[in-house]
A and B are shown apart, each in its own frame.
Chain A
Amino acid sequence: MSGYSDPGFDTLALHAGASPDPATGARVTPLHLTTSFVFESAEQAASLFNMERAGHVYSRISNPTTAVFEERIAALEGGIGAIATASGQAALHLAITTLAGAGSHIVASSALYGGSHNLLHYTLARFGIQTSFVRPGDLDGWRAAIRPNTKLLFGETLGNPGMDLLDIPQVAAIAHEAGLPLLLDSTLTTPYLLRPFEHGADLVYHSATKFLSGHGTVVGGVLVDSGAFDWQAAHDRHGLFAELCEPYAGFHGMVFSEESTVGAFLLRARREGLRDFGACLSPHSAWLILQGIETLPLRMQRHVQNAQRVAEFLAAQPTVLGVGYPGLATHPDHALAQKLLPRGCGSVFSFDLKGSREQGRVFIEALKIFSHLANVGDCRSLVIHPASTTHSRMDDAALHLAGISAGTIRLSIGLEDADDLIDDLKRALKIASR
């Protein structure tokens, strides 16, 4: 019984969920660009449809290339499995609609990506799912917002764009006291910097478009289940999650919590949400994301090194009002970051320029290395003005709650030489201050 140690993160990033292709011996996971898979026999076909055997039928439901991506990210997160989706937004939608329906309620952080806020505040409300927003650090607010029809608590590990760090252990404890799961958007931290399941989160999703892919080439998402949340216990005690614990008419009366003691959520999400809403990931996109994940540990190390240097530079500039990076001692969540993010605080953050909105425009347009576009987590450095772009649909009150002002500028620090990034910012700040 001696000699065993858990495989490390870097090893899992290269190997988990994959093995040399049995048909060809190909070492790299092959790209299976096919919609469908030939059945061995009529009997096998029926068995696959009836979940008597595992296998691939149709690439909207599963695909061998996509499955490697799903299993790899599940391994990196310390989860039991995952479902790849067409985007991060599709992953959020899949998580919510697996658990909630008309008449349901969600408690969410107010510091969210603008698209997520829009989905919760406007779109899901149209389908009868209401959301209460609370400041991520307001623990009493989280507790007080829970209602009898609440189905989940939701936040971002690092709130976009203010970089509020969610106190995951505390918010998870509040959720679990009420028999509810905690769902987190972990896009900005990636499992390399933070594994939310180790701190009590139950479900995690990523916009794989960002750091997981890492090269700005592909749009995708992925939803991961820890397997730790006891849906049956919540059903028995609180009457919640009939979707997982009572017969499902859409699949032969299957009771997902009986089928899989720890995997009921993923079973239903794949058998209902992925099947019926259809927001699956292309195998081609999954293959590209897999290439990115292989170097995730190396890239994230460089991302956070660069981000720390750039944040420290900006914080020392007289034309900068403040820098919202938890790696700086001045950030309100710095102490929490030391605990939850010992490897670094990500590479996306915002800062506020002194001066007018016009000076902000001049600053952004004066940058040469930073690309002005709507994305984060690229290997190239990026810049955007949230109030007029990503968060433009939020009113002033919601912007304030999210920590965004008219002068807020969001940076995504890439893998270039840090000295060059600092020179670029220095020059643009000078031009903007004229």
Chain B
Amino acid sequence: MNIQLNGQPVYAYTGGKPFDPALPCIVFIHGAMNDHSVWTLLARWFAHHGWTVLAVDLPGHGRSVSLPLDSVEDLGAWIWQLLDAAGVQQAALVGHSMGSLIALEAAAQAPERASQLFLLATASPMKVSPALLDLARTQPLQAIKMVNGFSFASWAGKPSYPGPGAWMQGGEIALKRRMQKLQTGVNLFEHDFRICDAYAGAMSAAARVKCKSRLILGGLDQMTAPKQARALAEALQSSSVTLDCGHSLMAERPDQLLQAIREALVP
């Protein structure tokens, strides 16, 4: 569905069911150079199991046509502005990678509004190597290939995402290329990785979070290694689940990820 926010169009996928603010709400927040389509299976499942779903396209990504916002803090505030516009008081927040930082920051900015927090493939700090940032600035398409190489731990993530016959690595590359192409105002790859690199508020944010949280990590993740999330898990007093995959949990282990969320999620 489309929502007007601050004069800008915002798109959120609702999982194949009309959005209903009377139902418990779950918000999916994508990572760098992604959009809502990385959440399709999860969004559809929750939308058909008693939840109302907003899988957002962050500003400047996908169908949310505008310039991207400049910091994780701004994006955390934007989540609540969006939920205000949608008529939602409280929501569970699920974020992947860059999206996990945004979810964490949002939960810290309005602790009473975040009912639960799921941080997927997260790290604190989420530092990006200077070499990759430089490559992102000068050769973003090459940087996309490099990041993609680090994002998967296997040749196949059965039963594949979004379904059998999909080559998950090719799908991820194509999506990142599309995001880069759609955003004509800035180098989106550099932008997204830079705001991850610059965000230093994770531990402070964790101290302000009041809701239950769960970290879901890829045991073979080379982008955000599990050990980089240890301090955050302790600060949040979070439960933690490690899946047998790399950074792209939604593509490599969709069923296990669903299980890890649904077993902990309380309406």
Contacts and interface: CB of A to CB of B under 8 A. Distances in A.
Interface of A: 1-2, 4-6, 15-19, 22, 47, 50-56, 62-64, 66-68, 70-71, 74-75, 78-84, 226-228, 230, 252, 254, 258-263, 266-267, 270
Chain A: interface secondary structure?
A: loop
B146 A62 contact: no
Given A50-B44, A54-B161, 9 more contacts: A18-B155, A19-B154, A51-B163, A56-B159, A71-B166, A75-B169, A82-B165, A261-B62, A270-B165
Contacts of A55: 159, 163-164, 255
26 contacts: A4-B146, A4-B149, A5-B149, A6-B149, A16-B156, A17-B167, A19-B158, A54-B160, A54-B163, A54-B164, A54-B254, A54-B255, A63-B164, A64-B158, A75-B169, A80-B167, A80-B174, A81-B171, A82-B165, A258-B13, A260-B40, A261-B35, A261-B37, A262-B171, A262-B178, A263-B166
Contact of A17 (B13, B156, B163, B171): B156
Contacts of A18: 155-156
A161 B81 CA distance: 62
B199 interface: no
Contacts of A51: 16, 40-41, 44, 162-163
B45 interface: yes
Interface centre among A5, A52, A74 (most CB of B within 10 A): A52
Contacts, number: 150
A1 B151 CA distance: 11
Interface in B131-149: 131-132, 145-146, 149
Contacts of B62: 261
Contact of A78 (B160, B170, B254): B170
Interface of B is mostly: helix
- Counting from the closest, the 3 A-B pairs by CB-CB distance are A227-B174, A74-B167, A62-B164
B170 A75 contact: yes
B178 to A, nearest CB: 6
B116 to A, nearest CB: 20
A62 B158 CA distance: 12
Nearest to A61: B164
Nearest to A22: B158
B37 A67 contact: no
B6 interface: no
Given A17-B156, A78-B170, A259 B131 contact: no
Contacts of B159: 54-56, 64, 67
A54 B162 contact: yes
Interface size class of B (residues with CB under 8 A): 35 or more
Given A16-B155, A53-B255, A67-B160, A83 B165 contact: yes
A313 B158 CA distance: 49
B227 interface: no
Nearest to A81: B166
Given A259-B37, A261-B175, A16 B167 contact: yes
B178 A52 contact: no
Contacts of B146: 1, 4
Contacts of A6: 145, 149
Contact of A263 (B35, B145, B171, B258): B171
Contacts of B36: 261
Contacts of A66: 164-165
A259 B42 CA distance: 12
Nearest to B145: A6
B150 interface: yes
A47 B46 CA distance: 10
Nearest to B61: A261
A52 B165 contact: no
Nearest to B1: A258
Given A17-B155, A50-B44, A82 B167 contact: yes
A195 to B, nearest CB: 12
A18 B155 CA distance: 6
B41 A52 contact: yes
B197 to A, nearest CB: 12
